[in-house]
């Protein structure tokens, strides 16, 4: 399943600037996600609790992207950051 549309929240856009030193790694990971959202290297998983409508995948050990599926081929990126984004 390939993603055809991605929407970026203002929080995500702000966070991407904050982590500009990791820009290349983030871009490569997003490209991998768009090609296959469930690529095992991304560790894509559904969240629980108050964030149960969201999903997350890993850029690296510390950085994660919080997102939601709008439909089968459309996602909205909510935020980017360390585990703090889950609070």
What confidence score (pLDDT) does residue 85 get? Answer: 84
Domain housing 42: 5-86
- pTM, full prediction: 0.93
Round to whole Å and give the CA distance between 48 and 36. 22
Separation CA 77–CA 7 (nearest Å): 6
Alpha carbon distance 26, 22 (integer Å): 6
pLDDT tens across 27-85, in order? 999 999 999 999 999 999 999 999 999 999 999 999 999 999 999 899 999 999 998 88
Q: What is the count of structural domains for the chain?
A: 1
CATH code for position 65 = 3.30.2310.20
């Amino acid at each position: 399943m390939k993603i055809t549309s991605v929407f970026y929240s203002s929080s995500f856009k702000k966070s991407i600037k904050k982590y500009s030193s990791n820009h290349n790694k983030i871009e490569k990971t997003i490209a991998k996600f768009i090609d296959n959202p469930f690529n095992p290297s991304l560790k894509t998983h559904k969240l629980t609790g108050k964030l149960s409508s969201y999903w997350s995948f890993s850029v690296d050990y510390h950085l994660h992207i919080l997102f939601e599926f709008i439909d089968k081929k459309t996602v909205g990126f909510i935020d980017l950051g360390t585990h703090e984004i889950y609070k």
